[in-house]
Structure 1
Amino acid sequence: MDSGSHKIYHKHGFDSRQFLEDYCSDKPEMVFEDDSLIFPIENLKKTFIEGHIKGDVLIDLSLASTVHHLYSACEFFNHIIVLKVSDRCILELKRWLDSRTGAFDWGHAIKLHKKITENRDQLANKEEKVRSAVHHVMKCDFEKVNMTDPIVLPPADCIISTWLLDSICGDQDDYRRYLRKFSGMLKPGGLLMLFGSFDMTYYTVGKDKFRAFTYDEDFARKALVGEGFVIDNCKVQKRIAVSDLSDYKAVTFIAAHKEK
């Protein structure tokens, strides 16, 4: 299958549960623990605690139905608004938020978070804290000027986006355009936290291959600065996972704030 025949996440959708099983589960064959679980948890914990970051509104714009990146955020923000481009991902996330039978079990991620967080006593009811902090789960459309039209969201203090731009961008112009949209959703001085993968051309969910936007650190930095962000921190970790489900070379975390 050549790249031109790969599916596109926000146009074709994918099996959200299969994605979680392949990239976020605790199954023996799941080899992405360091890259997709530990790396986000470590970097968000460090950024929130050491940066003394807190606020009222956090918007989550992330791939699939992941929640482990919100474990630290729920301690520092009063209202979390989750936006998804896929109905299937919304249903999967709401199943977990409502504690329904058959919801994906994130217990292993909680254990990882406990290993990383110094004050373990605060983690006893972590899942319930996340559930309480998530006030809205909404569908969004990136092609609209206001992606949540007709609803107008309040300006956010922080946006977290995990691997979404890698999946919805077709080229460099798309990446810049979506960064511009993110900027428009932030308050002046608001924080953007981006997770992504460098030099990736595809990722696989089940039997389907999906297109990925291929870029590197130099481009990401220039794109952020070009859209009015000041980069506070950039971490790059070379790929640890051995798998043909995806061909990325490294994972990255970038924290940047919108210039006032």
Structure 2
Amino acid sequence: MEPRSHKLYHLHGFHSRNLLDTYCSSKAEMPFTYEAFMYPMEKFHNAFSSGDFRGDVLIDFSIGPQIQHLYAAQEHFRDIILLKPTEHCILEVKKWTDSRTGAFDWSHTTTLATELAGKSDQSEEKEIRLRAAIKHVVKFDLNQENLTGSIGLPQADCLVFWNILEAISKDLKEFVRNFRKFSKLLKPGGRIMHYGALNCTFYMVGGEKFHFFKYNESDFRSMLSNEGFVITHLEVSQRKAESDLMDFDSVMFCTAYKE
């Protein structure tokens, strides 16, 4: 099957709970423990703890209803805003932020977050604080000049990307164009964090194959440079997962600021 015939996250959507059960659960057979939790959560924690990432507003663009990388963010930002392309994903996030019955159980990631912070006895408090910090979960539409339509958003001190550009972009041209749209929400001098899977063409959700734009470290470095960003940290880690659900070969964590 050609990449262009794969489904696209923002156009076709998927069942958000299927994504979480497949890539984010605490089940022993979940193959992506390193790529979904251990590696990225440590990197985000270290970056937020550095003191370089702080301010009033953080805007997060992540595939699906993932929140595990944001535990450290709530210590350094007053308001966290999540932008999602589908209503189903928004509802799944709000189930958790509103502590509704049937919400996804993120307690395994809360435990990891508190261990990283050296506060393993404060898991419940950390969840409560993150729920309080997530002020809005808003739908975005790539076809609109203003991504959020009539909903005005404040300029962000920091933008966070987690495998979203790859999931909504068919090719490098769209990848750059979508990044440019998102980065308009960043204040001058603001910072970004990016976590993504490299050299990946698809991921599976609920037995269906979804498109993932294949890019490498060089592509990403060139885009940031061309868009006026200065990289402050970039590292690549080789894949540890054994699974046919995704075909990436490594993951990348990067931080940068807008000149």
Shared fold per TM-score greater than 0.5: yes
Decide whether the 8 Å contact of 1:155 with 1:186 is kept in 2.
yes
Q: CA deviation at 1:128?
A: 0.6
| Correspondence list, 1:1-260, <5 A | 1-120=1-120, 123-259=123-259
Cα distance per residue 1:195-226 (max 9 Å; x no partner) = 11100000000110001000000000000110
Decide whether the 8 Å contact of 1:183 with 1:258 is kept in 2.
no
Let me know the Cα RMSD of the aligned residues.
1.2
Q: CA deviation at 1:14?
A: 0.3
Stretches of structure 1 that go unaligned for 5 or more consecutive residues are: none
Q: For residue 184 of structure 2, give the secondary structure of its aligned residue in structure 1.
A: helix
Q: Distance in 2 between matches of 1:117 and 1:245?
A: 31
Q: CA deviation at 1:55?
A: 0.3
Q: CA deviation at 1:21?
A: 0.5
Q: For residue 27 of structure 1, give the secondary structure of its aligned residue in structure 2.
A: coil
Q: For residue 89 of structure 1, give the secondary structure of its aligned residue in structure 2.
A: helix
Q: For residue 240 of structure 1, give the secondary structure of its aligned residue in structure 2.
A: coil
Cα distance per residue 1:8-64 (max 9 Å; x no partner) = 100000010000000000112201010011222111110111234210011011100
Q: Distance in 1 between matches of 2:257 and 2:121?
A: 31
Q: Which amino acid aligns with 1:68?
A: Q
Decide whether the 8 Å contact of 1:162 with 1:196 is kept in 2.
yes
Q: CA deviation at 1:117?
A: 2.1
Q: Distance in 2 between matches of 1:5 and 1:183?
A: 28
Q: Which amino acid aligns with 1:69?
A: H
Q: Distance in 1 between matches of 2:88 and 2:182?
A: 23
Q: Distance in 2 between matches of 1:220 and 1:51?
A: 25
Decide whether the 8 Å contact of 2:4 with 2:170 is kept in 1.
no
Q: Distance in 1 between matches of 2:189 and 2:52?
A: 14
Q: CA deviation at 1:70?
A: 0.9
Q: Distance in 1 between matches of 2:40 and 2:190?
A: 19
Cα distance per residue 1:87-116 (max 9 Å; x no partner) = 110011111111111100001111222332
Decide whether the 8 Å contact of 1:8 with 1:168 is kept in 2.
yes
Q: Which amino acid aligns with 1:226?
A: N
Cα distance per residue 1:215-250 (max 9 Å; x no partner) = 000000000110111111112110010000000000
TM-score normalised according to structure 2 size: 0.97
Q: Distance in 1 between matches of 2:240 and 2:115?
A: 19
Q: Distance in 1 between matches of 2:102 and 2:169?
A: 32
Q: Which segments of structure 1 move beyond 3 Å, counting only runs of 4 or more?
A: 119-124
Q: Which amino acid aligns with 2:170?
A: G
Decide whether the 8 Å contact of 2:114 with 2:126 is kept in 1.
no
Q: For residue 125 of structure 1, give the secondary structure of its aligned residue in structure 2.
A: helix
Decide whether the 8 Å contact of 1:179 with 1:224 is kept in 2.
no
Stretches of structure 2 that go unaligned for 5 or more consecutive residues are: none
> How many residue pairs get matched?
259
Q: Distance in 1 between matches of 2:189 and 2:256?
A: 9
Decide whether the 8 Å contact of 2:203 with 2:212 is kept in 1.
yes
